Structures are given as structure tokens and as C-alpha cells.
Amino acid sequence: MPDLDVKEPRSLPLAVSRAASRPAAAVLAELGSGEDGLTGADAGRRLTELGPNAVRTHVASGWTVLGRQLASPILILLLVTAGLSLFLGDATNAIVIGVILLVSVGLGFSNEFRAERAAEALHSRVTHRCVVVRDGTRREVDVTALVPGDVVHLGIGAVIPADMRVLAAKDLLCDESILTGESLPVAKNPAPVPPEAPLAELSSCLFMGTVLQSGSCTGVVVATGGRAEFGRIALGLGERQPQTEFQLGLKRFSFLLLQVAIGLTSLIFVANLLLQRPVLESLLFSLAIAVGITPQLLPAVVSTSLATGTRQLARRKVLVKRLVCIEDLGDMDILVTDKTGTLTEGRISFTAALPARAEMLPADVLTLGLLATEADYAEARLSTAGLNPLDAALWESAAAASFEPGRHERLDVIDFDHQRRRTSVLVRDDGGPARLITKGSPEDVLALCRDTPADVQATLNEQFDAGSRVVAVAARPADGLADLTPADEKDLVLAGFLVFLDRPKANARESLDRLEALGITVKIATGDNARVAEKVCDELGVLSGGTLSGSAVEAMSDAELAAAAREASIFARVSPEQKARIIRLLRQSGGAVGFMGDGVNDALALHAADIGISVDSATDVAKDAADVVLLDKDLAVLAEGVREGRRIFANTIKYVLMGTSSNFGNMFSAATASVLLSFLPMLPGQILLNNLLYDAGQLAIPGDRVDKEQLLAPSHWDIGFIRRFMFLFGPISSIFDFATFALMLFVFDAVPGEFRAGWFIESIVTQTLIIFVIRTRRVPFFRSRPSAGLVGASLGVVALGVYLPFSPLAGVLGFDPLPVPFFLALLGMGAVYLVLVELAKIWFYSRAAQQPLPPRPPGVRRRGRTHHIARRAARFSIPGRPLLVHRGPGWRRRRKVGPKGPHRVKAPGG
């Protein structure tokens, strides 16, 4: 469909460099907006003209999936084989291979498309919204619905939803590392910058995808989607996601198969040429061997496993942003988590105000605590929405009902941040002199106080030992002070403590037991005092390996902290940077580390972890940094997710082991027979049909049961293990193939059609029956029952394989009917084969080489800037076709999917 030219308003979009150098009022005027924002009708018109604020799409595209199927090297081999057959005049063989090709593509397409649809449904369940002013009132809209001219309100932890011009700001610091790589936050304010200022110095603008680290602001949107700086980078990376550990393992496995296929195929081709067989016939047979040794439906089995697991996890309130992240979740063996909402109920209640001095009353301490909040006093009394949990509990307490907002005038405020760990306000009561009030962690507030009573520490320790969360409140006169800065937080007088309680969850102990049974070590990282965390763990019966405080972490070298972190169970009063450092060093031990967090201070650690886990109620920046989002903050839910991830990996490996061993054995037998016999032991089309029937029966593996011991610890790709398995069980299969050859030639004096039919049936039966032996390390059927679906699919494949030589298609397929005594002999050989395979399995798993792998060496996993950009870009996603960028001189053109379909938009190049 051709692009449609749409005439855009002259002022839209507005280049961010131009907006940065102009006064805020002029920018609003140029955008046709104002302090009351746009009208709903105007915003709708602009959305139609300019398209959504998106850099990604999450629609399940059938054509894209089909393209991936047709690009498979295995299918290309099939096409080549069919073409050569047709060229040689063997139309029958060409038709058979063509049918197999269609069935293979159809099975792969249907399963992968279902997986894509599952991923699309999951993506749509995770919403990202922001507060805008439309028609003069605040409302929440989806970030993809923003348009230039929208006035947006942002608070700490927000991900900037578009390129914006700052209109008003308070103590605003922005983390722009995702764009610049610079870890230090950048200060922002409404003052215009010089016209020629470089991008890094546009202090009056906020950039899409960056994070508001502290403070709050109001801004007007100047550029959205691909016109934004982040949008240009994200679109340049394309829709492709960085590969996970599971995908890299699949790639290594495919390389192993390629090596085996090339080696075996080359030997067969050379041997047939030396025997003076026709060149094209030899080439055709060699290609069939190459295709036959490959598990053709591995992508379909993996996709089916992931889609099945995704649906199971969604029922358990676990959403994965990418299907392959399920594998990473199952790989986890260390979990670092906050205690609030996981070990505790997450419902914080205010219990008492404790004065530190005789002249102070509990009501006075409570009033100071209410005054030292960031929210508007009148609004906070009506609604606690948007407040942090401690402030919300304070305002919801019965004692707060007597607070009179009208008596107090707040002159200035320094918002809470995770470095200072306190909030300060400048307040005047009833027109009197101003006071500075500070509220925060006891350690940090006490460090700013003078003349502290001697019994204060004893009071604190008593509350900490009881498991209470404590906030200190201090104040001093500040007459004549108009603007607050952190330097003003000094010479304070301690007023008292506010005490809160967050009780342990009733099911927390059970949840911890389930994680422990899965081989996962749980560690606590909290901003609370160490004594509080230890008390909660003690109440839950958790054996602690020790506690590290933030100050101790800061004093340690990386080597010292790496050793201490492996032993410690609790990290208390740790900063965001310290959390990320702990995660990084734990990963260097070789384990797969998961981090669970929901706050602004958790984003760095979520990025650093192998698997980031957050909750649906988390801050924007935490949800964006996570790979997995829990709809319920519960460790029991997480344990189910880990089990599901391990189950999927176990079933995938079942298919890999069965497919490679049986295929290798059959192709080795075919290669040997082709040299010894005067005719081909099986036609290329028959080889491919055999392989396809076997693979189709194994599509039921994703729903198979998994033995409990396979879920007790993470499993990893081990190419050496797969190779050893293939080279043991493949030749065992070949022994019975050779026995079948002897039976057909020397007992039944078979002609080529009978010989091929006999081996085809024997191969199908033995390949299918071995599934039930190899799928478990236990005694099959008696101690490990397969799923009904796998039993039904396997028996169906066997029945179809036995029927084909007697069916009307037998002549087309090149089969002749077989005598009845052959089937009696087949039953005996099948029984002996299963017993031999079971004995070989017992011997194989008893060997030291087959024991679990040691932990990974340091540096195996890497998550770079590309990974973070791709993950952040997922929040700016819409259903639709992929967004394309056309680069050209000066201006760029890109197709965009909007409410009225694709149309042309322009964006400044550079």
C-alpha cells in the first residue's frame, strides 16, 4: 500500500534543540498548547495526523512467522532435494518431498504463530500510563497516546514518555545513561539554553526513555515516537531482541548438528562416488541424510513449549515480557529480594509516636511527621494515592484526623531521595516564623541533630528488636530562610520517632520452603535497619548466614564483598548502587541471579540481574527494568514460575536427546547400507517422511510430565552431554537396524520395495518406543508415567507407520507389502531393544561425566546497552506492523501505523 501524504501543522513536530533554547511560554504557544494542556479533540486530531508515540509493535504477524519458517536451513535443504528430484525426472519423489515440506512448514508455522499470539496477549496486559492535562484537568493516558503539545506531570521514578520541554521543576535530576552511557544524573530546570548547545547540554529538556531520578516536574511534549532521540536509536536497532542464554544454547546445539551432518553427508557422497554410483543420485541421497539427521521440528517444539508455559504462568499471575525469559526464570538459583510485600504483608500501619524529649507530646511528633510529607496537605488528607507507603500509613491513621491543613503553609520542600534517605520541608504555622522539619531514616537524621538525649539509641534498639520500622523526625527554627537546600539540613533538634509495623506473611515460610526445594538461595536486600530485617527472618524461622550493612559494603573491595555476599543472607541499609554491585558480584560466582524489586531504588539491580522480577503495582522504572512481572507480589507465585521454566527446559532437552540419538542412528545405518547394498536402503522421500512422522509425534512432548528431581536444580545447555548421548544411543539403534537388514535379506529374501518398507516400519517403531525410556532417568511407566497426550501421539505415529506400506499410497511412496512373520520378529526385536536401551541408560547416567555441570565461570552472561534499550523500548509499543525507518539526506521518512493506517511522517535527520 503506498504512503499517503498528510499535511502537518507547521509547528509540529518541534525540534528538541529549538525548544530547549526558547522560553517555556514561547514553546507552548508554538505547539498550540497552554498550561491547561490540549483539548481532547485537538489531541485526537494530532494523534491521527502524527501517529502513536511508539517505537515497537507487538502484533503477531503471520507473514513474519512464515518468513522465519521458510528461511530455515533445514527447509532450504528440503527444497533443494525436491528440486533435484524433479530435475532427475523422479516426479514421485519430488511430490513426496513437497508434501513433507508443506506439512513441516504448516506444523512449525501453527505452533510458532500460537506462541507469538501468546506473547502479544501478555504484552497487552502490561500497561504504561502517565498523567497529562487535557481540557484543563489531569487524567491518565497510555504513553503511546501522547502527542506534541500535551502537558505532562512527572514524579520520581517516572520513565520520561517523550522528548519534553521542562515548564516547571523542583530539585530535578535525570538519569540519561541509556542515551549517553554517563552514570551520573543530570540536573534539569526550565531556563532556556544557548541556541547552539549540544544535545548533552540541553538542561531545559527531558528525553524519552530516560529516568527521573529525583524531584518532580511539569513538561510539554515536543517530539514523540521515532522523532524523539531515544526513538531514533530504538528504531535503528530494529524489532529484533538480544538473544538470551537459552537461545545461545540452541545456536550452539545447531552448530553441533551442522558439524555432524556435514561430516556424515560428505563421507556418504564420497563413498558412493568411489563405488561409481550416479553423481546426482548420490548427491540426492546425501542431502536426504543431511536433512534426516536434523530434528526438523525443533523450532516448533520450542515454540510450543514456551507458549504452553506462558499460558500456565499467566494463570498463576506471572507475566513474561518475552517468551524465552521463561527459560531464564527456571535457570535462577539465587534470588535477592526486598522483604516488604514478599516476606511481609506489605500493609504498613502506623502504631505509635514516641517523643524524644519531655516537652514533646506524641501528637506533636505526629504533626511534624505529617508536615514533612511531599504531598499537598489538604489533598493528602482526602486521598493518599501516590504517597509512599509510610506517609500513606501516617495520613490514614486515626490520630491524623485532628490535623488542620489550613493552619500550615509550606514554603519549600526537598523531596526524598535514596542517597539522603530523608525529606525536608520549610513550614510556617499560623503566619508565625518558619521552621525546617526533616523526616527520614534514624541513622541519617540523628547525624544532623545536636544535643541528642542519651537514651535515644536504647529506644531505637527496642523498636528494631520488636521488628518495627522507625522514622525519625527533627526540626529547628528557620526564620528568614526562603529556599531550602541540602546544606540547610543541620543543627536539628530531635523531636521523636514514628513507629510502623509490617507483619510477616502467613504463607511466607511455606513460600521460602518451596524456593529452597527448588535449590534457590533467598537473600534479602532492604533499606530497613538490620535489626528489623533480622527480626522478620527470625519470626519466619529463616537461618541467617549473616548480615552486611551498607556501610560495611562500602568499605569492602570487590574481592572481599564477593566472598562475603555469598555467605550473607541480609543486606541492610543498602543504596541502589550497592544493590547493583552486590548482584554483579554474586553473578561472578557462576550462579544465575534473580532480583525482585518494585521501587525506583531497585532499577539498577534489576538491570544488573540475570532475571529481573517486578510487580504490576511497581514504579515505571522498576517495571521497565524487569523481564518478569508478577500480578501478585508473592514468592509462592515466583516459585511456580521457576518450576514452569525448568519444566519447559526439561521437555525441550527430551526432544533434543531423542531426536539427535535416533536420527543419528538411522542415518548412520542408512549411510552404511548405501555402501554395502546394490540399491538405496531407503529413498530420500522415505527418509524425510520417516523423520517427519517421528517429529510430529513428539509435538506432544511440551505437555509431558517431568520427574520431580529434574526440577530441583537449574539445568543448562551441555553440548558435550548431548554429543555423548548421541554417540551412545545412536549406534544402539543402528545395531537393530542392521539386524533388520539381515532379517529382510537372508530370511525373507526381500526385494527393494519390501526391504524399504520393513526398515521404515522398524525405524518408526523403535524410534517411537524409545521415547518412553529416554524421557526419564527412572524406570519407565512404573516410576515415571508419560502424559496421555504423548502416549496417544506415539501410538498414533506407530499405527500410521505400519499402515503406510499397506495403504493405497504404498506404490507412490515406493513400498511393497510385508509378510506377517516380519511383524512377529519385529515384536521380539522391539522388546530386546527396549531392554538394551534401559540398561545402557542406567550405565550412562551412573558415569561421572554425566553428573550436573559445575557453576558457570564468571562473565558468561552479558547484558549491554542494546539489551537495556530494547527492554525500555517495549513500553512504547503498539499493535500493528513493524515501524520502518528510511534514511536519507537531511530528512528521514518512515512508515508508521496510526489509527487510520500507514501514512508518511517526516522527522529531522542527524
Catalytic residues: 338
The answer to whether 702 and 304 have CB atoms below 8 angstroms apart is: yes
Task: List C-alpha distances in Å: 572 to 217, 342, 546, 569, 578.
Answer: 31, 16, 11, 10, 10
What are the phi and psi torsion angles at 765 (to 5°)? Answer: -65, -50
Distance between CA atoms of residues 216 and 417, nearest Å? 12
- Quick one: DSSP state of residue 8? P
Distance between CA atoms of residues 872 and 488, nearest Å? 37
Residue 344, strand partner residues: 504
Task: List C-alpha distances in Å: 196 to 181, 188, 203, 395.
Answer: 22, 18, 13, 48
- The DSSP-derived string for 437-489 is EEEE-HHHHHTTBSS--TTHHHHHHHHHHTT-EEEEEEEEE-TT--S--GGG-
Q: Where are the alpha helices (DSSP H) in 677-787?
A: 684-697, 719-742, 752-774
In the block, which residue shows the cell 512422522? Answer: 693
C-alpha cell at 173: 535530576
* CA-based nearest residue to 486, from 443, 429, 444, 442: 444
In the block, which residue shows the cell 521380539? Answer: 828
Distance between CA atoms of residues 362 and 378, nearest Å? 22
The answer to whether 352 and 362 have CB atoms below 8 angstroms apart is: yes
| Cβ atoms within 10 Å of 786's Cβ, excluding its own | 19
Beta-carbon contacts of residue 770 (< 8 Å; ≥ 6 apart): 658, 661, 662, 729, 733, 833, 834, 837
Buried b (16+ CB within 10 A) or exposed e, 41-70: ebbeebbebbbbbbbbbbbbbeebbeeebe
C-alpha cell at 349: 500501619
Q: At 827, which helix (H) or strand (E)?
A: helix 820-846
CA atoms in the 13 A half-sphere facing the CB of 315: 6
Distance between CA atoms of residues 389 and 399, nearest Å? 17
| 3-class DSSP string for 78-106 | HHHHHHHHHHCCCHHHHHHHHHHHHHHHH
Beta-carbon contacts of residue 133 (< 8 Å; ≥ 6 apart): 35, 36, 37, 139, 150, 151, 152, 153
Distance between CA atoms of residues 558 and 563, nearest Å? 9
Buried b (16+ CB within 10 A) or exposed e, 508-535: beebbebbeebebbbbbbbbbbbbbbbb
In the block, which residue shows the cell 538470551? Answer: 244
Q: Where are the alpha helices (DSSP H) in 331-481?
A: 362-371, 377-382, 389-396, 442-446, 456-465
Distance between CA atoms of residues 393 and 383, nearest Å? 11
Distance between CA atoms of residues 715 and 654, nearest Å? 12
Distance between CA atoms of residues 551 and 444, nearest Å? 12
Buried b (16+ CB within 10 A) or exposed e, 409-428: ebbbbbbbbbebbbbbbbbb
**Helix, strand counts (H, E) of the chain:** 32, 25
The answer to whether 102 and 94 have CB atoms below 8 angstroms apart is: no
